[in-house]
Amino acid sequence: MIYDLLLKQGHVIDPSQAIDGIFDVGIREGKILNLGTELDASESTQVLNLKGKYVCPGLVDLHGHWFEGSIYGIDPHISLNHGVTTVVDAGTCGFTNFPYFRKHTIDKASIRVLAFVHISCLGLHAPFAEELRDLSYARPKETARVIEKNRDVVVGVKIREGRMTGEHGIEALEKALEAARDVSLPMMVHISQGAQTREILRRLRPGDIITHCFQGRGDGITDPHAAALLPEVKAARANGILFDVGHGCGSFSWDVTRKAFEHAFYPDTISTDLHRYCVGDPFHVDLLSTMSKFRAMGMTLNEIVLKCTLNPARAIGKEAELGTLRLGGIADLLVFEEEDGEFEFMDTHFQTLKASKRLKACHVIRQGCLWNPDAHPISLRDLYDSDREVIDGMRETAKKN
């Protein structure tokens, strides 16, 4: 047999090769062996007939929280259930707990897990005890040292700007930049209410990433006094700064997204910011539902696939191996369909949007191994009172607005 697995007659979308059409995909020993129009089914151990379905490179979720030793973290295999083959941890750990995260999660996972390391020594603390109100937690030298020891899985430095940094916003940013410069890797910056967004944008380097770009809590990318983007946002994009969605439980607004779209400003990457507060009720976030929201707002499938495959892979310097179906590459793929019907999607301000289409995972292929969605049993920790305070606070804010 030539192939271990042959995908027949799927509509292949691979932006890395400008492919958009009906093709067969032949897989052998965990690699893409062939891509053609009439591959012989008799030469494969297993064949999937995918007529009417889409095939794309395995999805890359650029922003989530996968260290279960954190109050935010969840099992990364939940994303494999959702059709994702690579997840990137967005700084749940700092230099002190990253080695444990690697040993017990990254190195053992069936899904590929990469990571940003937080400039705060302990990573994310908790909503009631934010990580950089005390600037002594920011440790550039130790952060850089741990990154150097883990370059095969670490992709950059993370910092959250807003109430998490208290009065130290720009000083904390400079410490994160110091670490990122030392290791020559990008920095991901979370912006939320209280962030000095204009000044942050001025200080970022080409390749750095702003996440939560469509949050509507304040101090975001839009001018609060005019129906326009901040001029610093346009200048940042022209300078090579990337803008990531990072949906989460408080960072995606229909209104902000519409305003940005009116100015032809679209995200570079679409990600979930998946964590304990947004994975279940009331938000039910996953990457395919987040992609469906952008489909409902008028983006094409090709645009959306680009922003969940090649673009995030390129953002972390992994475009040669991830987000592509190039021959000889790792056989990470998603088979999905676009359902027609009546669907309702919600932003993090509890505003809803009706849509006629929804994306649904059919099969997930990770290193040539075929998985069905929801194949991994996932156990989520019970919510604490402090967790419920966060979710209830979101509801109350939405009612007031």
Per-residue pLDDT tens digits for 315-369: 999 999 999 999 999 999 999 999 999 999 999 999 999 999 999 999 999 999 9
Which of the four pLDDT bands, split at 50, 70 and 90, describes residue 375?
confident
**pLDDT tens digits, one per residue of 195-254:** 999 999 999 999 999 999 999 999 999 998 878 999 999 999 999 999 999 999 999 999
pLDDT of residue 397: 81
pLDDT of residue 202: 98
What whole-number percentage of the chain has pLDDT above 70? 100
Which of the four pLDDT bands, split at 50, 70 and 90, describes residue 391?
confident
**pLDDT tens digits, one per residue of 256-275:** 999 999 999 999 999 999 99
Residue 313 has pLDDT above 80, yes or no: yes
pLDDT of residue 393: 86
The pair of three-digit structure tokens given for residue 200, joined into one six-digit string: 């942050």
pLDDT of residue 374: 84
pLDDT of residue 226: 79
pLDDT of residue 227: 80
Which of the four pLDDT bands, split at 50, 70 and 90, describes residue 396?
confident
pLDDT of residue 400: 77
Q: What is the CA radius of gyration of the chain?
A: 21
**Does the global pTM surpass 0.95?**
yes
The domain spans of the chain are: 58-315
**Options 2.130.10.10, 3.40.190.10, 3.20.20.140, 3.30.565.10; which CATH number does 58-315 get?**
3.20.20.140
**pLDDT tens digits, one per residue of 114-138:** 999 999 999 999 999 999 999 999 9
**pLDDT tens digits, one per residue of 128-185:** 999 999 999 999 999 999 999 999 999 999 999 999 999 999 999 999 999 999 999 9
Q: Which residue has the higher pLDDT, 118 or 389?
A: 118
Mean pLDDT of the 75-88 span: 96
pLDDT of residue 399: 80
Residue 395 has pLDDT above 90, yes or no: no
Taking alpha carbons only, the member of 27, 45, 47, 46 closest to residue 35 is 27
Q: Cβ of 152: how many Cβ atoms within 10 Å? A: 8
